[in-house]
Chain A
Amino acid sequence: MSKRVTPAIERFNKKNKGKTFRQYTPGQEAWMRMTKNKLAIVGLVVVVLLILLAIFASVIAPSGYDVQDYSQILKSPSWEHIFGTDDFGRDIFVRLLYGSRISIPVGFICSAVSLLIGGGLGLVAAYYGGLVEDIIMRIMDIFQAIPAMLFAMAVLSAIGTGVANMIIAITISCLPLFARITRGAVYTVKGADYMDASRAIGAGSVRMMLKHILPNALGPIIVVTTFSVAGNILVVSALSYLGVGIVPPTAEWGSILSAAKSYISAAPWYLIFPGVTIMIAVFALNLFGDGVRDALDPRLK
C-alpha cells in the first residue's frame, strides 16, 4: 500500500524539511512524562539512596548493630550517637541502618512474588474465563474476606516467625489484590481487535497471554506493584511491632519501635527516629508510585 500524501501532510513536510522526528515507544513516553514530575524523581532518588544505605550498611555503620554499651544507656542524640542510644546502649542509627536490610528487601520481594503468583492467577482467570475463572476468583474472594494484616498474622503464627516466613505470609495476604487488578486489566484488552487478529494467525494460549495481552495490560499492574512495596514495608513494621514478625535482637524497624514503646517519655528520640525512618522510606516509594501512575495514565493529569 503506497502512502497517500494529502495537502496537509505536504504542508507539514515542507515546514519541517530536514528535521527528523524520533519515534518513542509507549514505555519511553511514560518515562519522559515521569522525569518531568519532580516529586517522583525525588522519591526515586531517596529510594535508591535507601537501597544503597542498606547494601553498604556494614561499611557505613561505625559499629555492629548488636554492640551493647552499658555506660551509654538511653542517651539522647549526640555527635557520637546521632540518633541516640536504646535501652541496651546500642546505637539507634546503626540499628536503623541494619533494619533497612530487612524492611526494604522484604517489601520488594513480597511485591514481586505476589505479582508473579497473583498476577498469573488473574491473567489465567481472565483469559480462560468460565469455570477456571470462577474457581480462581472465588478462592481469592475467600482470601480477601480476611483483612490482610490479620491473615498475615494467622499465617505467621502457624509457620513461625522469621524473614522467610514473613515474606510467605505477606505474599499470601497480597494475592487477591494482584489477581483482581490483573484480571480487570486483562479484561480491558481482551476484546481488542488485535486479539482476534493474533488468534487468527494461530497464536497459542501462552503466546497470546504473555506476548499480546500482558504488555498491553501492564499499566495498572505496575502502578499497584509500586504502591504495594510501600504498603508491605508498613505491614512488616506493624507485624514486628506486634511481635509476630521479626523478633529481637535482629534489628528491624517495627521491632525497634516495639521496644521503644516502654520508654516513650524517658527517651522520645528512641520512638521518633525509627518512625521517621519508616515514614521517609514509605513516603519516597509513594511519591514514586504517584509519579508512575500519572505517567502511565495521562488521563489523570
Chain B
Amino acid sequence: MGRYVIKRLLQMILVIVGVMIIVFVLQEMTPGDPVDSLLGAGASQEQRDNLRSELGLDEPVLTRFFNYIKDFVTKGDLGTSYTTKQPVMGELLNRWPVTFKLAIGSIFVALLVGLPLGIISAVKQNTIIDYICRVLSLAAVSMPQFWLGLLFILFFAMRLHWLPSFGLTSPLGWIMPIVTCGLTSSANVVRITRSSMLDVVRQDYINTARAKGQKENVIILKHGLRNALIPIITTVGTQFGAMLGGSIAIESVFSLPGLGQYLVTGLSNRNYPAVLGGVLIISITFSLMNLIVDLTYAFIDPRTKAAYERRKAPKRKKAAEVPSA
C-alpha cells in the first residue's frame, strides 16, 4: 500500500512536469509579445528591452523553464504577475479556496441529490418514477452549465430578489453557483448510481439476503449500495476534474474571484506566470484528487486492498521458482 502511494506520487510529479512543458510550449506558440501588451504601442525600444530583461524574457526558453522549476521546488515561487507585480503564488493561494469550496460544495449537492434519486430509480426500475428520474437527469446533463446559472440569476435574483446575482458579499452568494454546478453533476451521479445499482441488485447474494428475510431497505443500502459504490466514486472523482474546468464559466457567470476568472484574465492579458501557475495548481489539485479516489477504493473494497498488497508478491514467488526449475 505505502509503496503504491509512493509510486503514484512519483508518477504524479512526472505528470506535473509534463503539464508544465505543455504550457510552456503553448506560450511559446502564442502570438504577440507580453511586453507589447504591458507597455502599449507608444513605448520606445529601450523601454521594451529593459522590461524584457526585467521579466527574464530575454533568456532562452529552456533556461526559463529550468529556472521556473528550480524556483518552484526550492522557494515555492511561481514568479511575479506581469499585471499586478504581485507574487503569483500569493494570488493563487487567495483564489484557490474559492474554486475549491465551489467544487466541494457542488460535489456535496451532487451526492445529496444524485444518490437517493439514482437508488430510487434503480429500485423502481421501469416504473414511472424511474422514467422521470432518467429523463430529468438526461435533460440536466444536456444543459450548458453557464446557461443554467444565468437562468437562476434571471429567476431568483432578478425576478424574485431572493438571492444576490453575483459576488460573495454575503454567504447567500454561494448558493446559486454551488447549486448550478451541483445539479449538473448530480445528473451524472444519478445515471451511474442507477446502472451500478442495477448491476448489483441482480447478484445472487441479494437474493440470498432476501431469502433469509432481511429487510428490504437494509438489502438496498447495506448489501446493494456498498457494492455499487466503486463506479460512483470514480464518477465523482472525474466530476471533480470537470468542475475545476467547468468552474471557469460558472465563476465568470457569478463573478466569483476564483482560479477560473484568474486564468481567463491571465490568458487574455498574456500574463504568462499567472496562466502557468493557475494551470499548475489546478493540475496538482486534480491529480491529488484522482489519487485520493484510487486510494478510497481500498477502504471501501477489501479486494482492491488485497490486490495492492499482492502486486509485489507473485513476482518474488516466480523468481524463487526459476532456479529450482
Q: Which of A56-64, A111-119, A146-154 faces chain B? A: A146-154
The proximity string for B residues 113-138 relative to A, scoring 1 for CB distances below 8 Å and 0 otherwise, is 00000000000000000000000001
Q: Which residue of A lies closest to B22 (CB)?
A: A142
Chain B residues with CB under 8 Å of A49's CB are none
Contact A241 B245, CB 8 Å, known A145-B16, A271-B154:
no
Q: Is the CB of A153 within 8 A of B263?
A: yes
Please give me the 6 A-B residue pairs with the lowest Cβ-Cβ distance, nearest first: A147-B245, A142-B18, A149-B245, A283-B142, A275-B147, A282-B142
Q: Is the CB of B18 within 8 A of A237?
A: no
How far is it, in angstroms, between the C-alpha of A275 and the C-alpha of B143 when the chains are bound? 8
**B43 touches A (CB below 8 Å):** no
How far is it, in angstroms, between the C-alpha of A116 and the C-alpha of B158 when the chains are bound? 46
Q: Is the CB of A158 within 8 A of B26?
A: yes
Question: Interface on B for A, CB 8 Å cutoff?
Answer: 11, 14-16, 18-19, 22-23, 26-27, 29-31, 138-139, 141-147, 150-151, 153-154, 158-159, 195, 198, 241-242, 244-246, 248-249, 252-253, 263-264, 267-268, 275, 279, 282-283, 286-287
How far is it, in angstroms, between the C-alpha of A153 and the C-alpha of B244 when the chains are bound? 13
Q: Is the interface of A mostly helix, strand, loop or mixed?
A: helix
Q: Is the CB of A264 within 8 A of B29?
A: no
What is the CB-to-nearest-CB distance from A251 to chain B, in angstroms, rounded to a whole number? 16
Chain B residues with CB under 8 Å of A146's CB are 19, 22, 279, 282-283, 286
Chain A residues with CB under 8 Å of B145's CB are 234, 238
How far is it, in angstroms, between the C-alpha of A138 and the C-alpha of B19 when the chains are bound? 11
The proximity string for A residues 223-252 relative to B, scoring 1 for CB distances below 8 Å and 0 otherwise, is 000000010001001100111100000000
Q: Is the CB of A283 within 8 A of B267?
A: no
**A278 touches B (CB below 8 Å):** yes
How far is it, in angstroms, between the C-alpha of A155 and the C-alpha of B279 when the chains are bound? 12
Name B150's contact: one of A238, A244, A257 (CB within 8 Å): A257
What is the CB-to-nearest-CB distance from A81 to chain B, in angstroms, rounded to a whole number? 20
Q: Is the CB of A279 within 8 A of B142?
A: yes
Contact A150 B263, CB 8 Å, known A157-B268, A158-B26:
yes
Q: Which residue of A lies closest to B155 (CB)?
A: A268
How far is it, in angstroms, between the C-alpha of A146 and the C-alpha of B15 when the chains are bound? 10
Contact A242 B142, CB 8 Å, known A157-B268, A264-B150, A264-B158:
no
Chain A residues with CB under 8 Å of B15's CB are 138, 141-142, 145
Chain B residues with CB under 8 Å of A278's CB are 143-144, 147
Q: Is the CB of A261 within 8 A of B150?
A: yes
How far is it, in angstroms, between the C-alpha of A154 and the C-alpha of B321 when the chains are bound? 53
Q: Which residue of B lies closest to A138 (CB)?
A: B14
How far is it, in angstroms, between the C-alpha of A155 and the C-alpha of B242 when the chains are bound? 17
Q: Is the CB of B19 within 8 A of A265?
A: no
What is the CB-to-nearest-CB distance from A38 to chain B, in angstroms, rounded to a whole number? 12
How far is it, in angstroms, between the C-alpha of A283 and the C-alpha of B252 when the chains are bound? 25
Q: Which residue of B lies closest to A237 (CB)?
A: B144
What is the CB-to-nearest-CB distance from B292 to chain A, in angstroms, rounded to a whole number? 15
Can you show 27 pairs from A to B with CB atoms below 8 A apart?
A141-B18, A142-B19, A143-B22, A146-B22, A146-B282, A146-B283, A147-B244, A147-B286, A149-B248, A150-B248, A150-B263, A154-B279, A157-B268, A158-B29, A160-B31, A234-B144, A241-B144, A257-B144, A257-B150, A268-B154, A271-B151, A278-B143, A278-B144, A279-B147, A283-B138, A300-B195, A300-B198
Name A286's contact: one of B138, B159, B249 (CB within 8 Å): B138
Contact A238 B249, CB 8 Å, known A141-B11, A146-B279:
yes
**A139 touches B (CB below 8 Å):** yes
How far is it, in angstroms, between the C-alpha of A237 and the C-alpha of B249 when the chains are bound? 10
**A254 touches B (CB below 8 Å):** yes
Chain B residues with CB under 8 Å of A234's CB are 142, 144-145
Name A154's contact: one of B14, B23, B139, B144 (CB within 8 Å): B23
Q: Which residue of B lies closest to A275 (CB)?
A: B147
Chain A residues with CB under 8 Å of B287's CB are 145
Chain B residues with CB under 8 Å of A159's CB are 29
Chain B residues with CB under 8 Å of A148's CB are 242, 245
Chain B residues with CB under 8 Å of A91's CB are none
Q: Which of B31, B144, B146, B244 counts the most A-chain CB atoms under 10 A from its CB?
A: B144
Contact A257 B147, CB 8 Å, known A145-B19, A271-B154, A287-B138:
yes
Name A283's contact: one of B139, B268, B286 (CB within 8 Å): B139
